[in-house]
Amino acid sequence: MTAPLALLTDVAIDQDWRGYTTAEHRVWSTLYDRQAALLGTRACQAFLNGLEVLDLRGGIPDFAAINVRLENLTGWRVIAVPGLIPDADFFDLLARRRFPSARFIRDASALDYLSEPDVFHDVFGHVPMLTDPVFADYMQAYGEGGLRALGLNHLPHLARLYWYTVEFGLVGADSDLRLYGAGAASSAAETVFALESRSPNRLGFDLRRVMRTRYRIDDFQQTYFVIPSLDALLEATLADFRDVYTSLEGAGDIGPEAVLPTDRVLTLGTQTHAAETGGRPPPQ
């Protein structure tokens, strides 16, 4: 499914790379150095390869420079957008291998607080994985699936798939779990929590199970879903989602902390973090 080309120009803005201040570049470098040090043994090889080839060191990257390398590798491009954009525009961009990124960066006084995704989350977190051919295909397929889902009343199910894969996904086996999700990979605290804390569950990925599972937007995740490989993720999501949605009719939501008898459990979490912070999951 394609949408009018005009849509792209409707949401895209100029990154205005020359407009960034020295202080803003310094925030990027501080965050970059911290995350790069943490991720060397914690991000999956595809992420680390992407980080290397994109060369995101030394300040907020110029999207034009990223795009020369990225487009050459997988045909993806990064475009600047003014902030959160409508679902239809978001899916349309992904389906066209365009990744929307904020242009602003968080303030130096609040390195770990984000009210909405900034350029560090969007570019450092998401773009390295877009250099991987399999993940690049998955993201395009997700966008195409989103366009098809727009009229089907199943966007919450699709949003959970994005959340538990693109934002907070883990890959590998019990003995060598790695991050590929951008939400975790761009956050120092959640990078460590996702992999090393005893609090969250780590469960084998199952498409319908993930789509039924509510998630936390206000705290660390209570459950992370683990794929054996990126190929397995792409394969699992090639199903006709109309059939998946039909099978989800009447199937209730699952709490973010729940473990079911049918789950493949890698870690049965203690949920102590959630108990200590007392956060109640918001309805989704």
From residue 280, alpha-carbon distances to 162, 208, 213 in Å are 21, 24, 15
Q: Which residues have C-beta within 8 Å of that of residue 70, sequence separation ≥ 6?
A: 54, 76, 77, 78, 127, 130, 131
Is there a catalytic annotation at residue 126?
Answer: yes
Q: How far is the CB of 122 from Fe ion (least distance, A)?
A: 6
Q: How far is the CB of 56 from Fe ion (least distance, A)?
A: 16
Q: How far is the CB of 282 from Fe ion (least distance, A)?
A: 18
Q: Which is nearer to Fe ion, 164 or 245 (CB)?
A: 164
220: nearest Cα among 273, 178, 269: 273
Is there a catalytic annotation at residue 116?
Answer: no
Q: Which is nearer to Fe ion, 76 or 245 (CB)?
A: 76
**Catalytic: which of 144, 154, 157, 167?**
167
Residues that bind Fe ion (CB under 5 A): 182
What is the per-residue burial (b if ≥16 Cβ within 10 Å, else e) of 54-92? Answer: bebeebbbebeebbeebeebbebbbbbbeeeeeeebbbb
Q: How far is the CB of 166 from Fe ion (least distance, A)?
A: 7
Q: Which letter does DSSP use for residue 170 in this model?
A: E
Q: Which is nearer to Fe ion, 100 or 200 (CB)?
A: 100
**Catalytic: which of 186, 190, 199, 273?**
186
241: nearest Cα among 147, 135, 165, 169: 147
Q: Which is nearer to Fe ion, 136 or 182 (CB)?
A: 182
CA–CA gap between residue 226 and residue 54 (Å, rounded): 26
Q: How far is the CB of 125 from Fe ion (least distance, A)?
A: 6
CB 205 within 8 A of CB 236: yes
CB 194 within 8 A of CB 225: no
Q: Which is nearer to Fe ion, 42 or 267 (CB)?
A: 42
CA–CA gap between residue 190 and residue 175 (Å, rounded): 19
Name the residue with the smallest CB distance to Fe ion. Answer: 182
Catalytic residues: 121, 126, 167, 186
